[in-house]
Amino acid sequence: MKKKDISKILGSQKAVPLETQNLDGPLKYLALIREVNTRIKSKVGRPSDSKKTRYHNIPLTDKVWKKLNQKAKMVPGKKTLSASQLAAFLIEHGLKDLEAEMKKYHLEDILSSTKS
């Protein structure tokens, strides 16, 4: 199905590329899936994130780890996504969202002035 066909079905007058938009809701999930499938590269062994440069252990509860495993299995793609890889993507995107919110409300300025 072509973009213009999807736009027509949805009643849209204009199609906007997802990469250029600040996405929320289901579109954010679709953009995350696209990024996961773009970045996870299969080397000789297990598929890994091509942008990773550091590896850290982050303590999580069993409940959170179980949810990460369930969600990782739900992400469609040619490569297998691990719970750890999904956690890394979610942390990256959460950090971007936090930084955007801090910038939007000038919280960086406020917080840095309270430390002086």
What is the Cα–Cα distance from 99 to 108, expressed in whole angstroms? 9
Highest mean pLDDT among 27-31, 40-44, 61-65, 74-78: 61-65
To the nearest whole number, what is the mean pLDDT of the chain? Answer: 81
The pLDDT of residue 8 is 73
d(CA 47, CA 39): 10
The whole-number pLDDT of residue 90 equals 93
Instruction: Quote the percentage of the chain above a pLDDT of 90.
Output: 27
Average pLDDT over residues 44-59: 78
Q: What is the pLDDT of residues 12-29, one digit of tens each?
A: 776 666 554 566 677 778
Token pair, residue 8, equals 């027509």
End-to-end CA distance of the chain: 57
81-113 per-position pLDDT tens digit: 999 999 999 999 999 999 988 888 888 887 877
Task: Please classify residue 36 by burial: count the beta carbons closer than 10 Å to its beta carbon, then call 0-12 exposed, 13-18 middle and 19+ buried.
Answer: buried
For the chain, the domains span 22-42+57-115
Q: In angstroms, rounded to a whole number, what is the distance separating the alpha carbons of residues 104 and 82?
A: 33
Report pLDDT for 16. Answer: 60
Residue type, 107: L
Alpha-helix runs per DSSP H in 12-61: 26-39
Q: What is the pTM of this model?
A: 0.64
